[in-house]
Chains A and B, each alone.
Chain A
């Protein structure tokens, strides 16, 4: 069961009318290392992961949906008032032809999201290493997005999302440590 809360996790502010950024930000909406991939990856792996880390996967997956909403907010704000000409100039002509100003789960190049972006191997170490790699890849994507805009307010929101990848990566690494623990010995954590 999920409950929706009518607020963003972090205040998203977009101050420059730079429609082209919308095209690039979509990478974190429907791209391989985007927030949709992250949320669905963890939410699916949790059914077969050892009990001790089910809570962590559930909670991080839930937070990823909040990040997906933040990315959607950025894209929405940048496209809602754009003219067709402005969308075309921003390289979103193909997007407009198919979707008008609707958001869609595809990457910055328009490739639709696919479940092939995520993995569930069933082996807890393999799955957690996949998750750690996913967080580092998302962190890198946020860096390149921060490089591509000079809107300090947009950068601020992207820096928040980038920092979350760092914290999530640490928690997944701690989960690996928990699973490595010798059950015969008393925990020192």
Chain B
């Protein structure tokens, strides 16, 4: 979990056929919070920028894979 992730809680019915995933997540990347980029924002070095995929730390949005397929009971990437 990071500051760019949001969670929500789907309704769980007693008649659901599979064990419930109680918490679902989605990403809110940094572009949603910037209307127009300010000039002179701090920058990565070119080598760091290549690895990050952007020149500006404030535009960087990490993603952690949700590979926990078995962890149905609320552990989905949290």
Residues of A participating in the B interface, judged by any CB pair closer than 8 Å: 10, 139, 142-143, 146-147, 150, 155, 159-164, 166-167, 169-170, 173-174, 177, 189
Our pick among B29, B37, B60, B67 for the contact of A139 (Cβ within 8 Å) is: B29
Can you spell out 16 A-B residue pairs with CB atoms less than 8 angstroms apart?
Answer: A10-B50, A10-B53, A142-B63, A143-B27, A147-B65, A150-B67, A160-B50, A162-B53, A163-B59, A164-B53, A166-B31, A166-B53, A166-B61, A167-B54, A169-B31, A177-B36
Q: Is B12 located at the chain interface by the 8 A CB criterion?
A: no
Residues of A within 8 A of B51 (CB): 160
Judged by DSSP, the binding face of B is: loop
Q: Is the interface of A mostly helix, strand, loop or mixed?
A: helix
Complex contact A163–B61 (CB within 8 A): yes
8 Å CB contact of B54 from A142, A146, A163, A173: A163
* In the complex, residue of chain B having the shortest beta-carbon distance to the beta carbon of A168: B31
Partner of B34, one of A146, A150, A170: A170
Residues A166 and B29 in contact, CB atoms below 8 Å apart:
yes
Is the beta-carbon distance between A167 and B66 smaller than 8 angstroms? no
Query: Which residues from B are CB-within-8-Å of A142?
Result: 63
Contact A170 B31 (CB under 8 A): yes
Q: How far is the CA of A174 from the CA of B31 in the complex (A)?
A: 10
In the complex, the answer to whether A146 meets B35 with C-beta atoms within 8 Å is no
Which residues in A have their C-beta under 8 angstroms from that of B67?
A: 147, 150
The contact of A143 among B30, B54, B63, by CB within 8 Å, is B63
Check: B52 CB closer than 8 A to any chain A CB. yes
4 nearest A-B residue pairs (beta carbon): A163-B53, A170-B31, A160-B53, A166-B29
Query: What residues of chain A lie closer than 8 Å to B35, measured between beta carbons?
Result: 173-174, 177
Q: Mark B31-74, 1 if CB is under 8 A from A, else 0.
A: 10011110000000000001111100001111101110000000
Cβ-defined contact, B53 with A167, below 8 A: yes
Give the CA-CA distance A155 to B64 in the complex, in Å. Answer: 10
CA distance in complex: A166, B27 (Å): 11
The smallest beta-carbon distance between A35 and chain B, in angstroms, is 15
Instruction: Knowing that A147-B66, A150-B65, A173-B35 touch, tell me 13 more A-B residue pairs with CB under 8 angstroms.
Output: A147-B65, A159-B62, A160-B51, A160-B53, A162-B61, A164-B53, A166-B31, A166-B53, A167-B31, A170-B59, A173-B34, A174-B36, A177-B36
Contact (Cβ within 8 A) B50 A166: no
* Nearest chain A CB to B1 CB, angstrom units: 15
